[in-house]
Amino acid sequence: MSDQELSYEDFFPYASARAGQADMMDRIEGCVRSGTNILCEAPNGFGKTCATLCAILPWTQINGGKILYCARTHRQLDRVVEELAQIDDVRNVSGLSFRGRSHMCINKFVLDNVDWVVSISEMCQQLKADGKCAFYERTKRLGYPEDLLAKMPKKILTAPEIARIAKKRNLCPYELAKKLAKAVDVIALSYLYVFDPSIRETFIPELEIPMSRVVLVQDEAHNVPSTALDSASDRLTIGIIRQAMREGRTYNDEVTNDFCRALAQSIIEISAGLSSNDEMIVNPVGIYERALQEAGTEDTVHPLVHMNELGTSIRKNQLRHGKPPKSSIYRVADFMDNWLDYADRNDYAFVLSSELRRGQSRRMALERVALDPTAVTSPLLRLIRCSVAVSGTLSPLSAYAEMLGFEETSVKVSFRSPFSDQTRTGFVVEGLDTSYNARSEDMFARMVEHCAAVVGATPGNTGIFTTSYGIAAALQRAGLERKLSKKLYLEEQGAAGKKNDKMIEEFKSQGKDGGAVLLGVQGGRNSEGGDFPGPTMESVVVVGVPYGRPTPRTDALISYYDVRFNRRGRDYAYVLPAMTRAIQTAGRPVRRLDDRGVIVLLDQRFNTPYLKRFMPPWLGEIVRSIPDSPEILSSAVSDFFNGAELE
């Protein structure tokens, strides 16, 4: 067989495909050959990662192309590499997972000095430009990428493996990964490398491949619109402005000191009417002009130009003396320059926010909030061969196609679940509602009874995920822990990653020993990023529809989306993000073909025709309504697990 005749069948590494996988691979392969964007919605356990890789590799290997496989978490990126290793058993492929400088840098000077004033990227660029990073200098002298890849212990590597290899050889892991990326078939990397313009403009050219030969995979693509908006947004806290004032006094610079003092004072005065956690839309030019007036700056002096030049000089001088190139003056000038440059654009909102921090301190900030995700995604889509967007949560497909910047002719397809009806079931409990007006002590007490009923009827672990930490606390006050027959584990707000990981591992270990309960929040680290196969989470209770708190920025997004997406502002900007969080949470119990799971939606609004439009087929086809009776719910859950055991 010649390479021109390659197909997904030549790369698929398993004995047989799951139901729907062959169809998915065939559809993706056809779109890649024709250069057409495609959205694929398929549930957890479908095998989306393997199917996507196998469908794209035939075209990239024939045409000397490359796959940029984007995902959100390190675990998802490593999963790509794991599947690629399986494919390599049947056909020669190469690839690596990529992480940011903060996870790959081994330069102690950088790691000790990076902070919220100067990013690791800025510091790295300064050190490289001045030849002051020995790790980079050694890596720069290495040979051709193909020769370098041949000398590696294997040709499919995770980012931690690359870091270990580089550290042994006193090389820069990040630069070593970039060199290897030029020679491999697949690069698994964060969304930011392709959607953050400042990162993309430096990273993509270093791959040394025409963009027309690049196929972009957007894994968990429901996250892309918000990620795109975040990458195009920025914020400046009043703390940084005050730090710039102190820096100005250090250098006896009256222009900086006067302007920053006036800017901080303007922010304080304008925000006087805001509560502790609130925000308001502001006039971006008005803020700047008010600061100029209060500073009494002469017309001939341009403070931002002056501060930019001074900050640049300070950073260079610090580097010459072996110090980290930090300057709050530069940071304030750079932010305000962009703040004014974007002032006339209607696809941005300009926000003054007030946030109550730990210790009851108040942090105020100016925020430039991007409103149009397609302004970030579309420029890239116009350059590449095509994009494949995959997720278990892309309903309605037309909505995500618009927000991702896909053209009307893009292919949109939803694949049915490969699981049998005997392995999963779902219920919407009528009569319960977590909307603000429906909340009461009695409502929370009834919800606790339903949660306890599910826990008692589930052989293994149960996850309970609320719309917020406040609702979780309300369930606790209503006696949740006292009513449960199993140990309760609490997801702590703001807990360190290692502490949460330790708690989750202990929770999982209870699955085969009578079970336990995890109380968390929809949209949190455990409701979307967590993987709970088998008895580690056999039932999940989704408590409420996690609508965000109405804010001025949400109103601005709804208004912009109304214009941009044909009067669908509320659907796209408010309802869809909430339903996506709920649906991602609902998918926790069933991760593998031999898993069994119960999904309980504890809010009658899930049963309305309006919200059902946002449910993917894999969930909508199994959910049925049951009355507000813990006894009926307990019996239904128990019958399901007893029946599943008899199959």
DSSP track, 161-177: HHHHHHHHTT--HHHHH
Question: How confident is the model at residue 647, as a pLDDT?
Answer: 38
What CA–CA distances, in Å, run from 173 to 97, 100, 178?
12, 10, 9
Question: How confident is the model at residue 358, as a pLDDT?
Answer: 61
Question: How confident is the model at residue 1, as a pLDDT?
Answer: 40
Long-range contacts from 202-209, C-beta under 8 angstroms, 24+ separation: 203/178, 206/178, 206/181, 206/182, 207/66, 207/181, 207/182, 208/182, 209/64, 209/65, 209/66, 209/182
Question: How confident is the model at residue 109, as a pLDDT?
Answer: 80
The DSSP code for 317 is H
Task: Tell me whether the omega of the peptide bond preceding residue 284 falls within 30 degrees of 0, making it cis.
Answer: no
- Give pLDDT tens digits for 59-116: 999 999 999 999 988 878 888 999 999 999 999 999 999 887 777 888 888 777 766 5
What b-and-e string marks burial along 50-64, b requiring 16 or more CB atoms within 10 Å of the CB?
Answer: bbbbbbbbbbbbeee
Question: How confident is the model at residue 118, as a pLDDT?
Answer: 61
Question: How confident is the model at residue 421, as a pLDDT?
Answer: 67
- Where the chain has pLDDT below 70, the residues are 1-4, 114-119, 298-300, 357-361, 420-421, 529-530, 590-593, 644-647
E strand residue ranges, 42-170 = 66-71, 95-97, 156-157
CB 338 within 8 A of CB 234: yes
Closest by alpha carbon to 51, among 217, 204, 183? 217
Domains of the chain in start order, with CATH, are 3-231+374-414 (3.40.50.300), 234-370 (1.10.275.40), 421-646 (3.40.50.300)
Question: How confident is the model at residue 494, as a pLDDT?
Answer: 80
Expressed in percent and rounded to 5, the helix, strand and coil fractions of the chain are 55, 15, 30
Structure pTM?
0.88
What CA–CA distances, in Å, run from 410 to 66, 162, 223, 399?
21, 37, 19, 12
CB 255 within 8 A of CB 309: no
Question: How confident is the model at residue 3, as a pLDDT?
Answer: 45
Question: How confident is the model at residue 133, as a pLDDT?
Answer: 86
Residue ranges in 204-327 assigned as alpha helix (H) = 224-231, 238-250, 254-270, 284-295, 303-320
CB 350 within 8 A of CB 344: no
Nearest-angstrom CA–CA distance, 347 and 356: 28
- Under DSSP, is residue 52 helix (H, G, I), strand (E, B) or coil? helix
- Give pLDDT tens digits for 356-396: 766 556 789 999 999 999 999 999 999 999 999 999 889 89
